[in-house]
A and B are shown apart, each in its own frame.
Chain A
Amino acid sequence: MAKYLLLKHYRGAPAAVNDVPMAQWTPEEISAHMQYMQDFADRLEGTGEFVDGQALAPEGTFVRYDGEGRPPVTDGPFAETKDLIAGWMVIDVHSYERAVELAGELSAAPGAGGKPIHEWLELRPFLTAPPTITE
């Protein structure tokens, strides 16, 4: 069993096939998209493969330590930041092939014109616990 993170990007992924900003969709198309995402998560819970899913606000703040006794420095958001995460889903599946299959299904979520977005999703394996028997 292996856990994978499915990352959805606002920015930083290659362009989707059906690449129309959401604000240009009809309200019904937006509803259909949201329903698809919800159904997908529900279905994965039913197959025993769902771990977690969250969406993130596009605007974030960069924070760093600024030395003893000083408050942290904040900065941003930076318009030029290349990579912007929109949300994630964590799945627990029996193989890499299964993870790819599920990411493919999620990428088929409907967008403008009710057609699949064909959006690029990033698939990242979790680092696991070390196995006991190695030699």
Chain B
Amino acid sequence: MNEVLLRSLTPSVLGILVRRGADFAAAEDAVQEALIEAIRVWPADSSPSSSSQEPPVRDPKGWLVTVAWRRFIDATRADAARRRREELVEEEPAPGPAPGVDDTLQLYFLCAHPSLTPSSAVALTLRAVGGLTTRQIAEAYLVPEATMAQRISRAKRTISGVGVSPAQAGPRARGTFNQPGDVATVLRVLYLVFNEGYSGEVDLAAEAIRLTRQLASAIDHPEVAGLLALMLLHHARRAARIAPDGSLVPLAEQDRGRWDTEAIAEGVEILQAALARDRLGEYQAQAAIAALHADAPTTEETDWVQIVEWYDELARLTDSPVVRLNRAVAVGEADGPRAGLAALATLDASSASSVSRGHPVPRYTAVAAYLHERDGDLTKAARLYAEAAQKAPNLAERDHLTRQAARLNARLRR
């Protein structure tokens, strides 16, 4: 049994339990236990040649629903204090209509509820929507399993109090998820899973793409499509992005022959369909920039003028200093390093307040170093690269910047 296929059943199995009247937190625990049980007992390879005595599972979803429901009842019975729920589970559950797209969508909204911190929303989404085990999530984020278990159960407690309670809304409200958040918060969570994942047993980038793809099939929204396109276009470069020694390869130096052309084609197609809807958003704009890079056969052939235009759109949509920093890089390529430095100077002035609080825009100094090098001021560039390395928020970037400083210092000594 393919584990990813198995996990893709998580939202609908959870949806069925909630519709039968289980509360979200208990149902989610029961589904998690059923998934762990499935991984344990199902043959890893259910083809006839498998030596396992276990027969292939013909109806994985039915199996999961049965096991999860039994676990839910066991857990509820064990808790004698909760009499009301016990009465509920004594009733034979009605088969009910097949839950579908709506349940899945509600689940995404619930797990990304604005009352949750981003890290809690990420953890809960990976478990309740993604079907990952607590252990896998803990490993992926390099924290102890007990800590991750607490983070998830706290998140569930937080969202159990949101929205309309069954008592307030009457019996009809039972069997549905609570009030949802909005699409933007869901996308933010999926973006974080994709962009800030560590490497572990679980490929979080691939998982983020799977979850965004699943969301895109449940809701027709240009920004969902935009995020999916953005992820695919960046994922396509992954093989070229990391050198065999683990160091980062900047975009300009990547072997473009190693980019995944299939992923690029899919990303571009999804993006074009989204842009045609004429409801631009930040993910579509970011994806458009990634698509322009993907489209260039060589660095030199990159359409920097168009990229600057997209950064202008992005700045209108978000006005984030990071966007203006990246815009300065693009301006430097389109109109020369002097123009880039001028663009950087405007950022300098407008972000002075955040700089003075000790939270400068990340990579500001690295960008300044790059533009000064292209402008021919190697001494200043070398100094700025070394300074940027000191401020780098991650090891790969620090090592890259240190090498840049070393490269220039060696040239200056000659």
A residues adjacent to B (C-beta < 8 A): 1, 3, 45-52, 92, 94, 96, 125, 127-135
Q: Provide the bound-state CA to CA distance between A46 and B150, in Å.
A: 6
User: Would you give 27 A-B contacts (Cβ < 8 Å), ordered by A?
Assistant: A45-B144, A45-B147, A45-B150, A48-B119, A48-B123, A48-B148, A48-B150, A48-B154, A50-B143, A50-B147, A51-B143, A52-B144, A92-B141, A92-B147, A96-B359, A125-B393, A128-B196, A129-B197, A129-B394, A132-B197, A132-B234, A132-B241, A133-B290, A135-B289, A135-B290, A135-B293, A135-B329
Q: Are B151 and A132 in contact (CB under 8 A)?
A: no
CB-based nearest A residue for B359: A96
A1-B141, A128-B196, A130-B394 as given contacts; A47 in contact with B248, CB under 8 Å = no
Tell me if A48 and B397 are in contact (CB < 8 A): no
Assembly CA distance A51 to B230 (angstroms):
32
Q: Are B147 and A49 in contact (CB under 8 A)?
A: yes
**Could you tell me the distance between the alpha carbons of A51 and B286 in the complex, rounded to whole angstroms?**
34
Cβ contact within 8 Å between B363 and A134? yes
With A48-B120, A92-B143, A127-B398 as known contacts, state yes or no: A132 contacts B251, CB within 8 Å: no
Judge if B396 is at the interface, Cβ distance under 8 Å: yes
Minimal beta-carbon separation of B186 from chain A (angstroms): 18
In the assembled complex, the Cα of A13 lies from the Cα of B302 at a distance in Å of 52
Which residues of A have CB within 8 Å of B382?
Answer: none
A81, B289: Cα distance in complex, Å: 52
B-side interface residues, number (CB < 8 Å): 46
Q: Does B42 contact A (CB under 8 A)?
A: no
Chain A residues, CB < 8 A from B198: 129
- Which listed residue (A50, A51, A94) contacts B119, Cβ 8 A? A94
Contact B118 A1 (CB under 8 A): yes
Q: Which 5 A-B pairs have the closest CB atoms?
A: A48-B151, A1-B119, A130-B396, A48-B150, A94-B117
Interface of B, secondary structure class, is: helix
Q: Which of A49, A94, A133 neighbours the largest number of chain B CB atoms within 10 Å of its CB?
A: A133
Interface of A is mostly: loop
Distance between Cα atoms of A131 and B118 in the complex (Å): 16
Question: Which A residues are CB-close (under 8 A) to B147?
Answer: 45, 48-51, 92
Do A128 and B394 have beta carbons less than 8 Å apart?
yes
Chain B residue at minimum C-beta to C-beta distance from A128: B394
A3 B393 Cβ-Cβ under 8 A: no
B56-80 Cβ-contact flags toward A at 8 Å (1 or 0)? 0000000000000000000000000
Neighbour of B196 across the interface among A49, A50, A51, A129, CB < 8 A? A129
In angstroms, Cα B329 to Cα A96, docked, is 28
- Of the candidates A48, A51, A129, the one having the most CB atoms from chain B within 10 angstroms of its own CB is A48
CB distance from A95 to the nearest CB of B (A): 9
Q: Cβ of A49: which chain B residues have Cβ within 8 Å of it?
A: 147, 151
Expressed in whole angstroms, the Cα–Cα distance for A125 and B390 within the complex equals: 13
Q: Whole-angstrom distance between the alpha carbons of A131 and B230 in the complex?
A: 14
User: Which of B195, B199, B395 contacts A131, CB < 8 Å?
Assistant: B195
- Cβ contact within 8 Å between A130 and B397: yes
